[in-house]
Amino acid sequence: MANSKRIIVLGAYVSDATFRAERMPKLGETIIGQSFKFGPGGKGSNQAVASARLGSNVSFISRLGDDAFAKMAYELWKEEGVEPLIVTDLEKGTGSACIYVDTHKGSNAITIVPGAALNICAADIEQFKYSIQSGSIFIAQLETPLDATIRALEISRQSSLTTILNPAPAVKLDRQILSLVDYLIPNEIEAELLTGIEVKSIEDARVASVRLIDLGCHASIITLGEKGALFNNGQSISIIPAPQIREVIDTTGAGDCFCGAFAHAMLQNLPPLEAVQFACNAAAISTTQQGAANSMPSIDDVNNLINFEN
């Protein structure tokens, strides 16, 4: 029987301009890069695409400008089967991001201008209140205004949705918001900003995860790049190693893939620890492809991971 449960994502869509080069230019310097690609990004949209590509029903709440980038967003979501719940902003254009990928390591540095997504407001959330209430899992990040995110988390909590917050880009958060979060999914940098604990090792992540629970979230999952992820549900702590990947091409969107895949696995009623393992596998695969939304794996890719690795 088809699963009628739904994931609701609030966040930004932006167009990613990605430059691949052997290193990043220093301020004031010009370097010759290796390649350029233009494609769909924005953490929220990437997470929505990740869940949908794995087979979940997904709705995406955002604001877009009235422009060519917005058309690209609608085409993407149509192709991926993501339901758009969009307000058209007449003041700001659809956002964009400039991404540098280091071709040696596959790692990146990103500047994002969220554009219209910065005008998402609590009234938009009220407009889509019934859609949120009809969902099972709610996900947000921090590329959209905090007041709207808090309102959406409150509605989700009142309606018993499972709430996931990916606190990216890194921002300090107080107990008011963290106590509305069932699963907080920061990377090492975000965990450090939230806790004041430098996260350089698994042991550091263990200490930071305890602090995150003290700060009010129900459970924390700190993503640790090639080291995998650390899960703390307030009772026990588990380390979930990442599968070994032969060649990392581009980690852009790996964190988004992790969040979208975790939500998908939770929607399938997997126990949280198994959902983290599933998310680690999906995110590892995403690092083998260029791009953000374009790098999200299908469910067959994840199921075939063992063949994939060999």
Q: Is 280 in the site for ligand ATP (CB under 6 A)?
A: yes
Residues 263, 258: Cα–Cα separation, whole Å: 9
The bridge status of strand 6-10 relative to strand 137-140 is: parallel
Q: From the list 81, 225, 268, 290, which residue makes contact with ligand ATP (rule: CB under 6 A)?
A: 225
Window contacting ligand ATP (CB under 6 A); options: 60-68, 96-104, 132-140, 242-250: 242-250
Q: Is 259 in the site for ligand ATP (CB under 6 A)?
A: no
Rounded alpha-carbon distances, angstroms, from residue 253 to 137, 286, 296 = 20, 7, 8
Q: Is 251 in the site for ligand ATP (CB under 6 A)?
A: yes
Residue 12 is which amino acid? A
At residue 286's C-alpha, the angle toward residues 61 and 69, to 5°, is 40
Choose among ligand RIB, ligand ATP, none what residue 15 binds, the Cβ cut-off being 5 to 8 Å by kind: none
At residue 109's C-alpha, the angle toward residues 105 and 115, to 5°, is 150
Residues 158, 199: Cα–Cα separation, whole Å: 33
Task: Please tell me whether residue 77 adopts helix, strand or coil conformation.
Answer: helix
* Residue whose CB is less far from ligand RIB, 228 or 253: 253
Q: Is 16 in the site for ligand RIB (CB under 6 A)?
A: yes
Q: Is 254 in the site for ligand ATP (CB under 6 A)?
A: yes
* Residue whose CB is less far from ligand RIB, 190 or 192: 190
Window contacting ligand RIB (CB under 6 A); options: 49-57, 76-84, 225-233, 248-256: 248-256
Radius of gyration of the chain (CA): 18
* Residue 82 dihedral angles phi and psi, to the nearest 5°: -95, 130
The set of residues, in sequence order, having a beta carbon less than 8 Å from that of 25 and lying 6+ positions away, is 31
Q: Is 167 in the site for ligand ATP (CB under 6 A)?
A: no
Q: Is 301 a catalytic residue?
A: no
Q: What is the dihedral of CA 62, 153, 169, 224, to 10 degrees?
A: -120
Shortest CB 86 distance to ligand ATP, Å: 24
Residues 277, 258: Cα–Cα separation, whole Å: 10
Shortest CB 42 distance to ligand ATP, Å: 12
Residues 227, 47: Cα–Cα separation, whole Å: 21
Q: Is 252 in the site for ligand ATP (CB under 6 A)?
A: yes
Tokens of 95: 């956002």
* Residue whose CB is less far from ligand ATP, 13 or 128: 13
Active-site entry in 147, 256, 300, 301: 256
Which residues are at the interface with ligand RIB (CB under 6 A)? 14, 16, 41-43, 46, 97, 110, 112, 143, 252-253, 255-256, 292
Which residues are annotated as catalytic? 256
Which residues are at the interface with ligand ATP (CB under 6 A)? 108, 187, 223-226, 228-229, 242, 245, 248, 251-256, 258, 280, 283-284, 287
